[in-house]
């Protein structure tokens, strides 16, 4: 039975602005980058709020929590007089950590700073501290086969400049959640050309990974099988750029939520091989910014690494930075952001300059017949 026939999506419920943001002051127009997790009987939600999607000194990360999904409690706000992004929860040794990275304040530039962490101790969130050098972007923090692993990438500061550099992905690990080091000290670079990178266990062993590529080294995405996290990648490349990837498992199904462009059959890589890498990179990014977007559920075949588009989730305009909480028996709660669902379907860049909201939606994946 095709995967899409086994998927049920509920009606979206807007949380921000709404019930989740009621205990918070200073909720601005753009509400986007987010994460969610369960810890010690509560569900935690963190998100970035700012005037627009672009860098701003007014950006903040708010954290709230709930026990019933209806009434939310204020936890903390991260405000550092610079942009703050990519909040990432991680429960480790019974403690709740929140990682994020800093950005500059010039909306025209992407000036990545250091990865930071704050943690919850006896009901109080600690003052954030830096745990990396500059030009580091955290993407995901998970325990993989009992090993704490952070996926992060370098090279982003020059990625959107007139002379973009080749990015590199690294896997880090830790003993205490505070001090992080390369998982493979002798070969810290796990992938060349990728940025946002996800890894989950494969149903038959090993690991399935996804990373997006937006030039100048390569364009689109790589889906890969890794026999071990420090080993080589068996890669299948795609012209689609799977932005903001979130990988998760439902039984033996390897599922992915990522942004999809609605134009050019969903492709980011449009060829243009006759152009220089610099010009090709600039044109492909401009085309991508000027086209409409969706939040999409995909399935990955763990053997062939084939990518199958299953169904679109709610989302349009500026959309897709998902978090998924596994509620058991094929039931998942998805948190995501979007331009207003009752508004116009605008190009991505127009949505980035306008208000966005955060919603939750129930996703059920039935087992195969």
Domain borders along the chain are: 3-365
Mean pLDDT of the chain: 95
Query: How many CB atoms sit inside 10 A of residue 124's CB?
Result: 9
Least confident piece of the model among 159-163, 204-208, 265-269: 159-163
How far apart are the C-alpha atoms of 167 and 216, rounded to whole Å?
9
Per-residue pLDDT for 70 more than 60? yes
Global pTM reads 0.96
| Residue 165 confidence class, pLDDT cut points 50, 70, 90 | confident
Per-residue pLDDT for 159 more than 80? no
Percentage of the residues of the chain whose pLDDT score is greater than 70: 98
Which class in CATH covers the domain with range 3-365? mainly beta
* Region class of 342: left (phi > 0), else alpha (psi between -120 and 50), else beta: alpha
Report pLDDT for 112: 80
| Residue 152 confidence class, pLDDT cut points 50, 70, 90 | very high
pLDDT, tens digit, 9 for 90 and up, residues 200-220: 999 999 999 999 999 888 999
Residues forming beta bridges with residue 172, ordered by sequence position: 150, 182
How far apart are the C-alpha atoms of 229 and 26, rounded to whole Å?
41
Per-residue pLDDT for 56 more than 90? yes
The DSSP string of 111-173 is ----EEEEEEETTEEPPPEE-S-SSEEEEEEEEETTEEEEEEEE-GGGTTSSS----EEEEEE
Per-residue pLDDT for 107 more than 90? no
Percentage of the residues of the chain whose pLDDT score is greater than 90: 88
Per-residue pLDDT for 1 more than 60? no
Per-residue pLDDT for 271 more than 60? yes
| Residue 250 confidence class, pLDDT cut points 50, 70, 90 | very high
Q: Judge contact between 138 and 101, C-beta under 8 A.
A: yes
How far apart are the C-alpha atoms of 16 and 1, rounded to whole Å?
36
Task: Give the dihedral sign, CA 244/335/14/72.
Answer: negative
Structure tokens given for 324:
């998924």
Least confident piece of the model among 23-32, 108-117, 155-164: 155-164
Per-residue pLDDT for 122 more than 70? yes
Q: What is the mean pLDDT of residues 214-231?
A: 93
Report pLDDT for 2: 62
Tokens 């709660």, located at residue = 333
Report pLDDT for 164: 76
| Residue 3 confidence class, pLDDT cut points 50, 70, 90 | confident
């Amino acid at each position: 039975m095709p995967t899409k026939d086994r998927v049920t999506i509920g009606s979206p419920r807007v949380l921000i602005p709404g019930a989740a943001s009621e205990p918070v002051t200073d909720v601005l127009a753009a509400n986007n980058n987010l994460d969610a997790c369960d810890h010690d009987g509560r569900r935690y939600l963190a998100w970035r709020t700012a005037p627009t999607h672009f860098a701003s000194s007014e950006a903040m990360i708010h954290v709230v929590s709930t026990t019933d999904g209806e009434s939310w409690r204020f936890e903390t706000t991260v405000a550092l007089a610079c942009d703050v992004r990519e909040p990432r929860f991680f429960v480790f040794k019974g403690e709740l950590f929140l990682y994020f990275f800093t950005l500059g304040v010039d909306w025209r530039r992407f000036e990545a700073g250091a990865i930071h962490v704050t943690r919850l101790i006896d009901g109080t969130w600690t003052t954030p501290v830096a745990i990396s050098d500059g030009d580091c972007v955290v993407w995901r923090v998970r325990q993989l086969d009992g090993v704490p692993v952070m996926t992060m990438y370098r090279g982003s500061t020059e990625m959107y400049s007139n002379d973009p550099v080749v990015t590199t992905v690294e896997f880090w690990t830790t003993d205490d959640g505070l001090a992080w080091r390369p998982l493979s000290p002798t070969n810290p670079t796990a992938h060349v050309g990728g940025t946002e990178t996800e890894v989950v266990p494969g149903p038959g062993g090993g690991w399935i990974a996804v990373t997006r590529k937006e030039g100048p080294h390569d364009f689109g995405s790589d889906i890969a099988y890794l026999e071990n996290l420090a080993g080589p990648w068996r890669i299948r490349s795609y012209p689609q750029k799977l932005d903001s990837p979130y990988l998760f498992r439902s039984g033996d199904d390897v599922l992915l939520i990522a942004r999809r462009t609605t134009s050019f059959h969903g492709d980011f890589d449009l060829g243009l091989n006759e152009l220089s890498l610099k010009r090709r990179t600039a044109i492909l990014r401009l085309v991508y910014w000027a086209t409409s977007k969706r939040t999409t559920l995909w399935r990955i075949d763990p053997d062939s690494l084939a990518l199958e588009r299953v169904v679109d989730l709610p989302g349009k305009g500026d959309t897709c930075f998902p978090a998924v909480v596994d509620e058991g028996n094929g039931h998942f709660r998805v948190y995501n952001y979007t331009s207003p669902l009752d508004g116009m379907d605008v190009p991505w860049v127009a949505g980035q300059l306008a208000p966005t909201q955060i919603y939750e939606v129930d996703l059920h994946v039935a087992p195969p017949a």
